[in-house]
Amino acid sequence: MIRSLIATLALTAALVAADPVAPGTAAPAFTLPSATGSAVSLASLTGKTVVLEWTNYDCPFVKKFYVGGAMPALQAKWTAQGVVWLSINSSAPGKQGHLTGNALTSRIAAEKAVPSHFLVDSDGTVGKAYGATTTPQMVVIDGKGTVVYHGAIDSIRSTDAADVAKATNYVDAALTELAAGKPVTTPQTKSYGCGVKY
């Protein structure tokens, strides 16, 4: 009995780690420390549209969206409209992209990033709960706490900042449709990027 229970739990955990949280399902709750030291919980953001951006400033696929300022522009555009933008880094301590304290705040400033909060997920719990496998990887959650988009930032898999303008930005499209009260046309894509450094 207990063994089968453990097996079931292990299986569930394995499935949770392997499968991205599907659109239409409830966004797993979490509370994470932010770069400025405060704690941010998803539950406190009910009623607001929330964007989760898995990021790692040292990853070339992430750099693609920061060198030309595409990601900060998108963050500024949507936070101005009341969307809560949470950049999350799930790198384990000692792995690429793991930053804390002053090193982190100065890096955020250097990248000209303007998310609502930058959250530090050092043990990777939240990343694994959402099935985040790459950076960047994007999740859009509506005001009711339902995942409405999960996947890539845009349609062109590359590290070349010149491709950003040519690509379809899935997150911008999802947020636009959500703001207009329409269903999201493309609720799920396959994300691309560097592996999350769990």
Partner 1 sequence: MVMMPLPAVVRWLFTLLLLVPVWGADPPPRVTASLQTVATGVQVRLSIQDGWHLYWQQPGDSGLAPRLAWTLPPGWSAGAPRFPVPTRHVEADLVTFIHEGDLVLEVPLTPGPPSPGGVVAVRVDYLVCRESCLPGKVTAELPLTATGTLPAPGIPWPHTAPVDPAQAGITVTARGVGNDLLVTVQGQNLPTPPSHPVMPAVEGQFALLPPQVVQATATTWELRLTRSAGVAEPTRFSGLITGLGTTTVAVDVALGAMPAPAAETGGWLAAAAAGLLGGLILNLMPCVLPVLALKVLAFGKAREAGQGVVGPALTYTAGILTTWLTLGLVLLALRAAGLSVNWGYQLQEPLVVLALLVLFLALSLNLAGVFEIGLAATRVGGGRSGPFFNGVLTTIVATPCGAPFASVALAYAVGAPAAEALAVFAALGLGLAAPVLVLALIPGAARIIPRPGPWMEDLKRLLAIPLLAATGWMVWTYLALAGGPTSFVVLVGLLPLVILAAGAWGRFQIQGGRAALALTLAAVLGVFGLAAWTATQAAPSAASGHQEGPWEPWSQAREDALRTSGTPFFIDATAAWCLTCQVNKRTTLHQEAVAAAFARRGVVCLRADYTARDSAIAALLTRHGRASVPTYVLVDGKGRSSLLPDLLTPTIVLDALTPIPEKSP
Per rule CB under 8 A, is residue 22 in the interface with partner 1?
yes
Q: Which stretch binds partner 1 (CB under 8 A): 35-43, 75-83, 102-110, 158-166?
A: 158-166
Q: Any contact of residue 192 with partner 1 (CB under 8 A)? A: yes
The residue range among 10-18, 31-39, 70-78, 112-120 that interacts with partner 1, by the rule CB under 8 A, is 10-18
Angle at Cα 122 formed by Cα 65 and Cα 99, nearest 5°? 55
Dist CA 158 CA 180 (whole Å): 30
137-164 burial code (b ≥16 CB/10 A, e <16): bbbbbbeebebbbbbbbbebeeeeeeeb
Element (H, E) at 62: helix 60-67
Q: By CB under 8 A, which span of 32-40, 102-110, 176-184, 185-193 interacts with partner 1?
A: 185-193
Q: In the complex with partner 1, which residue's Cβ is closer, 123 or 160?
A: 160
Site string for partner 1, 47-76 (x = CB under 8 A): -----------xxxx---------------
